[in-house]
Amino acid sequence: MATKLKQYADTIRVTADELDEVTATSEDILEYGIEQMDSNLLTSSLSISASVATMVWAFTKKKNFALGLVGLVLGFQPSLRDQLADHVRKANRELHSIRRFMKRNPDYIQVEIEAPFMDFDGGRVITGEGVVHRVKTRSGWITL
């Protein structure tokens, strides 16, 4: 049975600490899930909280997510694997940029990011640069 892939934009809202976790996890997804294609290493490296995992990667079990991602990537032609890795690298660079933005602005307690995602059996991955639409302060949301 072929895996159905779906690409779309979705919005996530995260605190600065959650954004740190999102960024670290996305790096692990790139390294262990896409580049090394090792579901055991990916499973053991996923150290995110359940709420962030459910919100961002849409999975409940780390092992199912890791197996699904690695199975998907193994089925890709090498050029498609390279393209996916490039897209996730771009996403990771942008996540780091947004992390720096949050750290430079400590009054911002939450950020709303619209990012491109790719769904697969078992979860989804961030596949490109996100756009910050709003930030939350103690006074409320500010549109950027």
Q: Examine the pLDDT at 39 and tell me if it is beyond 90.
A: yes
pLDDT for 50 equals: 66
Q: What is the mean pLDDT of residues 89-110?
A: 97
The verdict on residue 69 lying in a domain is: yes
Domain around 131: 6-143
Give residue 2's pLDDT band: very low, low, confident or very high (50, 70, 90): low
Contact predicate 4/121, CB 8 Å: yes
Cα gap 139→35, rounded to integer Å: 43
The verdict on residue 22 lying in a domain is: yes
The verdict on residue 1 lying in a domain is: no
The verdict on residue 34 lying in a domain is: yes
Q: Which of 116, 115, 120, 95 has the alpha carbon at shortest distance from 4?
A: 120
The verdict on residue 63 lying in a domain is: yes
Number of CB atoms found within 10 A of residue 103's CB: 12
pLDDT for 1 equals: 45
pLDDT for 111 equals: 98
Q: How many domains does the chain have?
A: 1
Give the model confidence (pLDDT) of 78-95 as tens digits.
Answer: 999 999 999 999 999 999
